A and B are shown apart, each in its own frame.
Chain A
Amino acid sequence: MTELLIKNGSVFDPLQGIKGDRMDIAIKDGKIVETSTLSNPKTIDAAGMAVMAGGVDIHSHVVGPKVNVGRLFRPEDKLFKSPLKKSTRMEMGFSVPSTFKTGYDYARMGYVFVNEAAMPPLHSPHVHEEIRDTPIIDNAAMPVFGNNWFTFEYLKNHEIENNAAYTAWLLRATRGFGIKVVNPGGSEAWGWGLNCEHIHDPVPYFDITPAQIIKGLIETNEYLGLPHSMHLHANNLGNPGNYVDTLESLKLAEGYAPKNNFGRDQVMHVTHLQFHAYGGDSWGNVESKSKEIMDYVNAHDNITVDLGQVTLDETTTMTADGPFEHHLRALNNLKWANVDVELETAAGVVPYIYSPNVKVCTIQWAVGLELALLSKDLMRTYITTDHPNAGPFTRYPQVITWLMNRAARDETMKTFKWLDRTIESTCIDSIDRELSLYEIAQMTRAGPAKALGVSNTYGGLAPGMDADVAIYHLNPEDMPSDPAAIEKAFARCAWLVKDGVVAVRDGEIVAEPAKRTIWVDVKVPENTQVQRDIYEHFLRHYSVQLENYSLFEEHLHNPRVIEVDTTQ
């Protein structure tokens, strides 16, 4: 196969601690190799450019039924925003782009791995069909467990072993990647028109609390030793004063240590933390509590977080947090979609406009950036926009620019209608920190890869890893003073090499190397009780037969299996 040599670039690889050293990266047969092993390589001259591993997104809603609901009920999101380009498939949409645009845009930004944040298990065939149709980028998808009847019943009695057996079965049935928890208990309570706003509110009928669910799932995750940790969308999202609940949720991880063979150091990943860091008791006096939250996160290294940065766009919110979406539609009076998924979850979709003229939105913007800028360990703090909830993923370059450049933040803040009140309610104006390219590499590739337990393959440039390399038009020794230049460089990478194939050149797609589906296959001892429980539930409660539930092989596209064996 082809050999490739990326010469003289400034390499940033936090997994190996390489901080912008000028060096060559050698690629052979789709893997990174020692430079000495190449015989007659093609070369890419990366002099004066930043070389990083392909980007890894830990939390993004890109495939599956609720994304498609978003596409269906927002035709206006595509209007006049679907340029026809040569040599690629039709690209449509802004906040909920078509599968093709999703793959291409991630590739243009230099990303190679995207973790779909919420897969309703019953609809996993749909998720996998859309994964197949999303070009270039590798995908994994996390099934949701936080409102699952099986999980409730096992965890209520603290049957970790049984819950682990069920979890292993469901991961295999859906070809899933890890344990996602969305508003634990709350989305099930939504079936009664209720919610669990606090972690000690009991779930109706099941009589289990969100705290029990979270702790039980951490224990299940570590019992199995999965690559990724329990991935939590905490209770009481998006409400003033919710930082108290968030801190309580974070504290549930205390006393747990990671047990896995994948180099992961955390037991809990808390996602879109920005939505969970508000003080005050009404929308009138909502304020940032990023300091309180980050003080806790900084002091506890068994927790990782991602931002959920608000990008001040018109977007489409979608989450398996059904009650929250209902609450949101009452706030903005726009259209609303609501879906119940039998024994598993309940999702909602509502369009939302984050406007620089609205005080709450600009405070949200500040909170997200503060979380990153107050973080003492950027290997545990990742850039996301909770795509598309706080903004589309295509705004990552803008988020990176805000983090790297105080002037860029100031420029954006000048457009705020309620600038004084935003500054009063946040600490963004008092922070001068500007992140370096090394820190950005930590937040966008090395860190997320490590937290997902895939840092032996993704997120770094050590020999033996996948040859996924992003090269940006940014010279670390001569960084542009104009923030727009930084944004442009990250939006359209100079080169993206995926599996040793040049996929992007100067921001344009030039090839579509095969993409993969990553899933976790866990071997557990035979558990007849769980087998019987599954059989019974399908007999009594599901609308489908057990035989038709599991994903059929033909839905799975180009799999890469991560094997975990708990029987030894």
Chain B
Amino acid sequence: MKTVILTLTNPSELMLEGQNITPDNFAGKKAAEIATLDVWEGKQKGPLGRYFTVEGDGGATAAETKIILRGDCTRVKRIGQQMTAGEIIIEGNADMYIGGWMKGGKIHVKGNVDSFCGIGMEGGELVIDGEAYHHLGSSPRGEWRGMKGGLIRVAGNVGNDTATFINGGTIIIGGDADIHVSTHGEGGTVIIKGNAKGRVGGQMVKGDIYVYGTIENPLPGFKLVDEVEQEVDGEKARFAHYIGDLGERHPVSKGKPVYANIYTRI
């Protein structure tokens, strides 16, 4: 695997749209070619090299390309958007849409990220050591087919509207979640190791949510059915098991209606 190191030496005045910073776009290119790829600052298009110094060449394929971003990328958006393979390491913070629509590969952010990270995700892995903001692993605006697969792991807290319209894949949150988790969910798993504020699983049809702490305002559409012991993210625990959202339509499988599940740790 070959490594390309991007160092932000000349920060943009406006936020930088960096959707070309992916292993797919860097693969097969020399450092000098990578520096000519387009990024957008507002409506102005410029070469990547205007803002970053580029060291190292891309690998032959995306899977053989690793990108390391250094410097303060708090205002660089869309890193790793639509990537299919390879690896990106962001050594500090990053802005919105990191790993949006990603299909494969791995992104590791060592700091915090803003909203819309991992939206429309289909596969791969997005690991955030700090916190994430709103719409983590959510569906793009208007879209009713949300996250389809992959894994998002956030060590800290997340904002609201996590996993809207989730269809598959897993989101693991180490801290607390703000309101609206898995709204309209039709599959997938969300694990919240801290507390959740409320509106957890609203209009959810299918899929699972685990909350280790408390749900401040649980929804009336969920009903306690039993207690279960389950292994979650490598550890075993006992959970109170709720089904719902009972106000929604539910698909029928083998003659029985399928419900969404919320598990809260006992």
| A residues adjacent to B (C-beta < 8 A) | 73-77, 79, 333-335
Contacts and interface: CB of A to CB of B under 8 A. Distances in A.
B142 A73 contact: yes
Contacts of B144: 334-335
B3 to A, nearest CB: 29
9 contacts: A73-B142, A74-B142, A75-B141, A75-B142, A76-B141, A76-B143, A77-B142, A334-B144, A335-B144
**Which one of B140, B142, B249 has the highest number of Cβ atoms from chain A below 10 Å of its Cβ?**
B142
A21 B225 CA distance: 79
Contacts of B143: 76, 79
B249 A76 contact: no
B142 A333 contact: no
A73 B141 CA distance: 9
Which of the four size classes fits the interface of chain B?
under 10
A323 to B, nearest CB: 20
B67 to A, nearest CB: 22
A500 to B, nearest CB: 36
Interface in B116-152: 140-144
Contacts of B140: 75-76, 79
Interface string B140-173: 1111100000000000000000000000000000
Given A76-B142, A79-B140, A333-B249, 10 more contacts: A74-B142, A75-B140, A75-B141, A75-B142, A76-B141, A76-B143, A77-B142, A79-B143, A334-B144, A335-B144
A357 B14 CA distance: 46
Nearest to B249: A333
State the main secondary structure of chain A at its contact with B.
loop
A83 B141 CA distance: 19
**Which one of A73, A76, A334, A335 has the highest number of Cβ atoms from chain B below 10 Å of its Cβ?**
A76
Nearest to A84: B45
Nearest to A330: B249
A335 B203 CA distance: 13
B29 to A, nearest CB: 22
Top 4 nearest A-B pairs by Cβ distance? A75-B142, A76-B143, A76-B142, A75-B141
Interface string B37-62: 00000000000000000000000000
Contacts of B249: 333
Nearest to B120: A79
Nearest to B139: A76
A333 B249 CA distance: 9
Contacts of B141: 75-76
A334 B144 CA distance: 8
B46 to A, nearest CB: 15
B204 to A, nearest CB: 14
B247 to A, nearest CB: 14
Interface string B215-258: 00000000000000000000000000000000001000000000
A75 B143 CA distance: 8
A334 B249 CA distance: 12
Nearest to B101: A80
A335 B143 CA distance: 10
Contacts of A74: 142
A82 to B, nearest CB: 13
Contacts of A76: 140-143
A79 B143 CA distance: 10
A333 B144 CA distance: 10
B54 to A, nearest CB: 25
Contacts of A73: 142
Contacts of A333: 249
Contacts of A335: 144
A77 B140 CA distance: 11
Contacts of A77: 142
Nearest to A73: B142
B68 to A, nearest CB: 27
A484 B144 CA distance: 32
A73 B144 CA distance: 12
A38 B141 CA distance: 56
A330 to B, nearest CB: 10
A361 B141 CA distance: 27
Nearest to A335: B144
A334 B205 CA distance: 13
**Which one of A73, A74, A79, A334 has the highest number of Cβ atoms from chain B below 10 Å of its Cβ?**
A79
A75 B119 CA distance: 15
A333 B203 CA distance: 12
Contacts of A75: 140-142
A76 B146 CA distance: 11
Interface in B68-112: none
A74 B143 CA distance: 8
A525 B142 CA distance: 51
Nearest to B141: A75
